[in-house]
Amino acid sequence: MDFASVLPTFAITLREGVEAALVVGIVLAYLKKANRAHLARWVWSGVGLGLVASAIIGGLFGWLIAHLGEANQRYAPVIEPLLEGVFSVLAIAMLSWMLLWMTRQARAMKGQLETSVGVALQRDEQAGWAILGLIVFAVVREGFETVLFIASRFEEGLFATLGAVLGIAAAALIALLLFKWGVRIDLRRFFQTMGVLLLLIVAGLVVAALAHFDAALHAFAQIDRASEQLCFFSERFSRNASCILGPGIWDGSRVLPENRFPGALLNALFGYTEHFYLVQLVGYALFIALVGGLYWQSLSGRPLLPFKKRTPLNTTLH
**Contact status, residue 194 vs residue 95, Cβ threshold 8 Å:** no
In the predicted model, is pLDDT for residue 234 greater than 80?
Answer: no
229 residue type, one letter: Q
pLDDT at 49: 93
Ordered DSSP codes for 7-35: HHHHHHHHHHHHHHHHHHHHHHHHHHHTT
Half-sphere exposure of 134 (CA within 13 A, CB side): 28
What domain range includes position 36?
3-300
Tell me which DSSP letter residue 309 carries.
P
Q: Is position 93 within any domain?
A: yes
**In this structure, which amino acid lies at residue 248?**
G
| pLDDT tens for each residue of 76-107 | 778 888 888 888 899 899 889 888 877 766 66
| Bond into 262 cis (ω within 30) | yes
Per-residue pLDDT, 197: 87
Q: Tell me the C-alpha to C-alpha distance, in Å, between residue 275 and each of 202, 249, 251, 254, 263.
A: 19, 8, 5, 11, 12
- In the predicted model, is pLDDT for residue 317 greater than 50? no
- Does residue 316 lie in a domain region? no
313 found inside a domain: no
- Amino acid 155: pLDDT: 64
Our count of domains for the chain comes to 1
How far, in Å, CA of 86 to CA of 196, rounded?
24
Residue 285: inside a domain, yes or no?
A: yes
Of 252, 253, 250, nearest to 277 by C-alpha is 250
User: In the Cβ-directed half-sphere of 72, how many Cα atoms lie within 13 Å?
Assistant: 7
Confidence at 109, pLDDT banded by 50, 70, 90: low
Please report whether residue 277 resides in a domain.
yes
User: pTM of the prediction?
Assistant: 0.78
79 pairs with which residues across the strands? none
CA quadruple 253, 258, 263, 266: dihedral sign: positive
The predicted model gives 170-192 an average pLDDT of 79
Average pLDDT rounded to a whole number, residues 273-285: 91
